[in-house]
Amino acid sequence: MKPLHLKRGRDLTLEDRMELVRRLPFGSSLTDRIVADLAANSNVVDALRRRFVYRAGEPADCLYAIVRGRIKLSRIEPEDGREAVIDILPEGSLCGESALYSSEGQRENSAIAYENSRLLRIPVRDFKRGMAEDDALHDYTFRLIGQRLERAESRLADFALNAIPARLDRLLADFSRRYGVAEPEGVLIDIPLPHREIASIVGSTRESVTVRLNAMRREGTIEFVNRRILIKRPATLESAVRIA
């Protein structure tokens, strides 16, 4: 029997989808009946790197659980295509949760595969039914929404109060906590971070970000490793973030 990650999405059985649900952060505490209900009404989506999972303006009628890969959330200006990156979500995350509370019933943001990814598409009505029947799923979802609201408010304050260097420090500190892998030389942010993506997140230009990162490299705070950033002095970075 093929391992799940080697099967094509359309070839996954109900039992396979149930296993995917159980592997999610909230899945282990669900009853077999709720797991079966979510799996039976869901379908698997395989998204190639840089392909849209959903676009702004589309119906907000489902949530997506990231089974494998990472998903970028963005706001894209329709007139000129300028992009503001909201976040990059890791494996195990939910995205599209605005379907639970959207008054307009439409997506406000777009979701794009940051790398080849696999997602479980769960209709909002079925997810809401699971929330109503399972307190743990209900609490998990509202805690998730609260955390993302707090992160958004923090970024707004960061944009209003801090200059580019401080914003960049905060982003690197945040990503080192979320994506960091301990290495002998420091903490490796284990996700490719092109300078244009960083610039979009912190509200700057690619050129300004490049200048600042190169300065941090010369200072010995960071190093570039295979399109990833190694934080060589995590304590120094965290201290700078606390002072800012």
Q: Kindly state the tokens that stand for 234.
A: 């995590």
pLDDT at position 1, please? 54
* Single-letter amino acid code for the residue at 200: S
Give the architecture-level CATH label for domain 4-158.
Sandwich (2.60)
For residue 224, the cross-strand partners are: 229
| Calpha distance 21→70 (Å, rounded) | 17
The segment(s) of the chain belonging to CATH 1.10.10.10 are 162-243
| Calpha distance 70→175 (Å, rounded) | 13
Q: How far is CA 136 from the centre of its chain?
A: 22
| Calpha distance 43→9 (Å, rounded) | 8
Q: What are phi and psi of 187, to 5 degrees?
A: -120, 120
Q: How far is CA 231 from the centre of its chain?
A: 21
DSSP single-letter state for residue 106? B
* CA-to-CA dists, residue 239 to 49, 179, 180, 243, angstroms: 35, 19, 17, 6
Tell me the residue ranges of DSSP E strands in 17-152: 43-47, 52-54, 62-68, 71-76, 83-89, 94-95, 110-113, 117-123
* Secondary-structure breakdown of the chain: helix, strand, coil percentages, each rounded to the nearest 5: 50, 25, 25
pLDDT tens for the chain, 244 residues: list them: 566 766 777 778 899 999 999 999 999 899 999 999 999 999 999 999 999 999 999 999 999 999 999 999 999 988 888 888 999 999 999 999 999 998 888 999 999 999 999 999 999 999 999 999 999 999 999 999 999 999 888 888 888 888 989 999 999 999 999 999 999 999 999 999 999 999 999 989 999 999 999 999 999 999 999 889 999 988 888 887 776 5
The segment(s) of the chain belonging to CATH 2.60.120.10 are 4-158
Give the architecture-level CATH label for domain 162-243.
Orthogonal Bundle (1.10)
